[in-house]
Structures are given as C-alpha cells and as structure tokens.
Structure 1
C-alpha cells in the first residue's frame, strides 16, 4: 500500500519522535552522533509548531517523518527518516513529494546529509538535489522549486488555490496582486475550499473584509479587499490582528499595505500570459507567481 503523507503540528510530536528515533538509530554509528538521536518529544513539538511537520503512514501506522524549516526563500527538510520496518515502500519519495507541495512559494528545497553516508547523498541526488556546499561533517544539497504556474482557466485557478489552501496554517498571510479581473477572488475561492471554510467566498469589495470560519476544526479565512483602503492606518482600523493568529488572512490589492500585518507573507501575483489574448476555445490564460517573503 502507498504511504499517506499529511501535515502535522505539535500534537504529533510523539509519533514523529518514534519514527525519527527508530530511523536514525538504525543507521551506521557516526562520530559525532546524529543530532536527531538527542531529540525528545518536547523539542520536536516546538519545531513542529504551528504545522511544520510531515508524517507518513501506512495502514494508519507512522512510518516516515520530516520537519519543514523555512529559512528565507529556502525550505529545509530536517530529521527526514523512514522506520526501518518500512524501507523500500516508497516512504522517502512520498515525503519529498509532499515537501515539494508544501514548498509552494519558496525558491528551493534544501537538505543536509552526512559525508559518511554516500548512499544517502546519492538518494538526494537521484531526486534532483545538487551539492551546493560542504562543512564537515555535512553536505548541503538543494533542489529548485517552481515559483510560476501556468493557469489556463478559472477551474485551474481554483484548483491551484485549493492545493495551496490545504498547505496553509493559522497565522499565514497571503497578499494578492493583479489587475481587475485577473482572478484574485477565484484564487481565493480555491483557498477557501482547501481550508474547508464555511460560506461562499466572493469579492469583499463592499464590506472590505469577510470572515469564513473553519468547518473542519482548522484555520478560518479572513478575506480582505484593500482596493478602497487609503493606507495602513485604515487597514489597522479593521482590527485584523485579533484574527491573524487563528486564521489565514488573504488581502487582495494588499501590496504596500498589508506587509506589516505579519513578519512573513506569501505574495501571489496574477497576470495574463505574455502576449496572450482570449483564445479561440474561450480560454484566458494566466500566470501565477508565488513568492515567500
């Protein structure tokens, strides 16, 4: 059976610890020992907040894990481990595929491997990672991530938003930009579907902000239209800070205004394909660019 990989937070610290400890204890003895062997559930819980972990399961049994550690535009994979009993079941490949999805908006994935483990380095190289630096006893490997997506129609726009929404966590800030009719609200509809929120997501132009509570016990959606907001002071008057920690906040027309709402943000720029006009089949393609700041 193929492994099922999901995003997890601090509540999964015990399961992640069991997998990581078993995986690293089953490797050759290293000098100095692998840092992962010193991990405890409490330290992993801190690293997993708010939802910076991947847990792979087969038939409900945890068999693989990894931590997601964002550093600027780079998403590091740490403590990547597969339980010895689950080797050769595609678990590691499934974890990397999930990390690739979780890396939307980052420019690259990175991982550290030990020099003494050439087979491990070879595994990462087989997945497109390339050595970028060495600092004994570690080799750092990186793999570029796409930051631009071709979107042929509205359904594809919603689909991209839905895939991204499933990866967002409470406290995330998304700033949307693009001309009138570019598809910002369509993209946000997909985000709402991915988050599993209540209510139909429509343009909030006439109310400036709408709140969509979660139907699945996760992050709600705060949808803001800053088109008619004159400055940061007016945006502050919406008192959005009270909602940020427990929700995903999406601000249309927020460039130059919303950056102060959170320390980090995901910028989504939607534009028509270069030279593209509505084609004979009625499609009006877009390019969506994602950038983590």
Structure 2
C-alpha cells in the first residue's frame, strides 16, 4: 500500500520492531487461560520466522504499527500468525490491510487458501475473520482453526476450453454442490454446463432450460444428477422456491443460470461462477474491455467459493493448472 499506511514485506532487520508490535498488541488483550505466548515474543523468534516463511510489517507515516508472520507448514495453504496492531491505532483498517496483502501473497505463492488460529474466547476477533469469509474448519484446544479458499479468474479462448474448464471443475464436485452462474447473453453459461454434464456422466442433451425453467439430468455412472435451472424469467427468490429445488439439492449438483441474488439460499455453501465475453476494441489494444455480446469466443471466468464446504478444496491449483 502507499500513502499514510504502507504494508511491506518483512525483512530480518524488521524483527525487533515487529516483536515490539506483537508484544504490545497481544499484551493489551484480556488475560486468557491458557495464556498466549505472544506477549513474550522475541526478536530472535520473529527473525527466524521471517527468514523461513516471511511476514508483513505495517508502517503508518514510517512508524511500525502492525505485524503478521507467515506459516508454511500446511501443504497448499498459507498460515497467518501473530496478526497484530498497535493498541494506540486500532480500528483504522490496519489489520484489514495486512490480511489483504497476505491473501495476495498466498495467490503469488500458488496457495489454494489461507488459515489462522483464533482464540474462541475473543468474539470480536472471531467476528473480524468471519466478516472476511473465514470459516471454522476445526478446533485445537482453545484455538479455532479458520480457513478461507481463494477465488480465481482465468481467460478461456473458445467454447471448447470453457467445456474443458467445467470438466476439470466437475472433478471437485459432489452431491449437494450448488453453482450460481452469472453472465450476459451468449457468455457461455450453457456451454459451461454442457462440459460439466459430460464430465459428470449425466444423461443429455444439455440445452438452455429457458422455456422449462429447470431440467433434471440423471447420472449414467452412479454419480450425482445434474439439475440445470434458468432463473432468467423468474421474478424473485420466491418463484425459485416454488420449483421445490430443495428436494433435489442434497442429491444433485445444481447449476442455476442467472442465479445471482436468487439462488444463494439453496445451500449453506455455493460456488459463484461468472462468465464474461472479452472483446478487444480499437481503443483497447490489450483486450481488457469486457463485452457481453458479439465478437469472438474468448471468455473470462471467475470462480468465488462461499461457505465451509469449499475450505481446503484445491480450486486454484486444480483450475489454474
């Protein structure tokens, strides 16, 4: 970050300043049983972590005000330790800035997600992480283990690559999964669903269900059925409820086109899948403009996981391979 607040990659020479921030931050918290070791953090231990895994230092007008250490012990995940903010400058977005940069670092390191230990007795701290879509994935003594799977985006040059991408995603799906799809007319939502259905081994053909609203494609290989819904003509979530999809959601993979704002309640967890057509314009030589109709078949797909089902699932390493 730039300006009054800067978040920089920690270097060994930052160890003393970071240890001081950690001690003051954790020292200001309520006394817990068993007590945290953070108020006794040493510069030597911080330096050793920086040298092996790294970390972040937050500076406000050049003064150290926040710190965070990384943990690389869990395969495919980046752990966050000693997330600390100087008590004198809390509630100014410093912790959020640290976490945002840490999540960017996880992406750069090729990680699928992020995890952290949080004391259950600190509800405000638990709430901070939940507001950032971290889900409880376990408990180790007094510590909750919270995790978050990172979202991803990639370019798909043609319809065939869209179907292949969907086929790869199908390998991660199971009965009960819900995909909420968004994208303009001709963006490739049905093309994507065709690739999904082929990989799942369901009875076809899969076509746009616009005029029948929903189609059920049973499995031909003993796996989950595919329920394909087009919510374009529905007036709201109540009309979606009238389809009684909840009777089949647990036993099927459910895909809802035009489902944003309507279908998220069908399950505790869901995948948000957004497809957009990318069409270069004369005034956009790099092809960064996104168009929804016309032009070539190039698409940009974005997949965002929601809910505890997707914590720990290797979305990025599987879909970006």
How does the TM-score come out when normalised to structure 2?
Answer: 0.48
Find out whether 1:56 has 2:58 as its counterpart: yes
Instruction: Could you list the structure 1 runs, at least 4 aligned residues long, displaced by more than 2 angstroms after superposition.
Output: 148-153, 276-293
Counterpart CA distance in 1 for 2:317 and 2:55 is 21
Residues 1:149 and 2:153 are matched in the alignment? yes
In the alignment, is residue 80 of structure 1 matched against residue 55 of structure 2? no
For residue 11 of structure 1, the aligned residue among 10, 13, 21 is 13
User: Can you give the 5+ residue segments of structure 2 that lack an aligned partner in the other structure?
Assistant: 158-275, 288-297, 303-314
User: Are 2:10 and 2:57, in contact at CA under 8 Å, matched by a contact in 1?
Assistant: yes
Checking the alignment, whether the CA contact within 8 Å between 2:4 and 2:61 is kept in structure 1 is: no
Match of 1:101 among 104, 111, 114: 104
1:126 lines up with 2:125 in the alignment:
no
Secondary structure of the structure 2 residue equivalent to 1:77: strand
Q: Secondary structure at the match of 1:123?
A: helix
Aligned to 2:42: 40
The 1:42/1:149 distance shift into structure 2, 3 A limit, reads: same
Question: Of residues 28, 31, 39 in structure 1, which corresponds to 2:33?
Answer: 31
Describe the SS at the equivalent of 1:94: helix
Query: In the TM superposition, what is the alpha-carbon distance from 1:29 to its structure 2 partner?
Result: 0.6
C-alpha distance in structure 2 between counterparts of 1:114 and 1:54, whole Å:
21
Distance 2:92 2:55 in 1: 20
Asked whether the 8 Å contact 1:22–1:84 carries over to 2, the reply is yes
CA contact (8 A) 1:3 1:90 kept: no
How many Å separate the matches in 2 of 1:278 and 1:41?
50
Kindly tell me: are residues 149 and 31 of structure 1, through their superposed partners in 2, closer, same or farther at Cα, counting changes over 3 Å?
A: same
Which shifted more, 115-124 or 280-289?
A: 280-289
The two structures, once aligned, show a CA RMSD in angstroms of 3.1
Q: Structure 1, unaligned stretches of length 5 or more? A: 154-275
SS at match of 1:49: helix
How much does 1:152 deviate? 9.2
- Structure 1 residue 38 displacement after superposition: 2.9
**Cα separation, partners in 2 of 1:74 and 1:39, compared to 1, 3 Å:** same
Q: Conserved in 2, the CA contact under 8 Å of 1:9 and 1:51?
A: no
- TM-score w.r.t. the length of structure 1 is 0.52
Instruction: Provide the residue aligned with 1:169 in structure 2.
Output: none
Once the two structures are TM-superposed, the CA of residue 61 in structure 1 deviates from its matched residue by 0.5
2:145 maps to which residue? 140
2: CA distance between counterparts of 1:278 and 1:4? 34
Residue in 1 that maps onto 2:116: 111
CA apart distance, 1:39: 1.8
Does the C-alpha gap of structure 1 residues 287 and 118 become closer, same or farther in structure 2, counting only changes over 3 Å? closer
- 1:119 to 1:285, Cα distance in 2 relative to 1, 3 A: same
Q: Distance in 2 between matches of 1:118 and 1:47?
A: 28
For 1:1-293, what aligned pairs fall within 5 Å after superposition? 2-50=4-52, 52-70=54-72, 71-104=74-107, 105-146=110-151, 148-150=152-154, 279=279, 281=281, 283=287, 291=317
Partner SS, residue 57 of structure 1: strand
The CA deviation string for residues 106-155 of structure 1, in whole angstroms up to 9 with x for no partner, is: 11111111111111101110111011111221001111113x433599xx
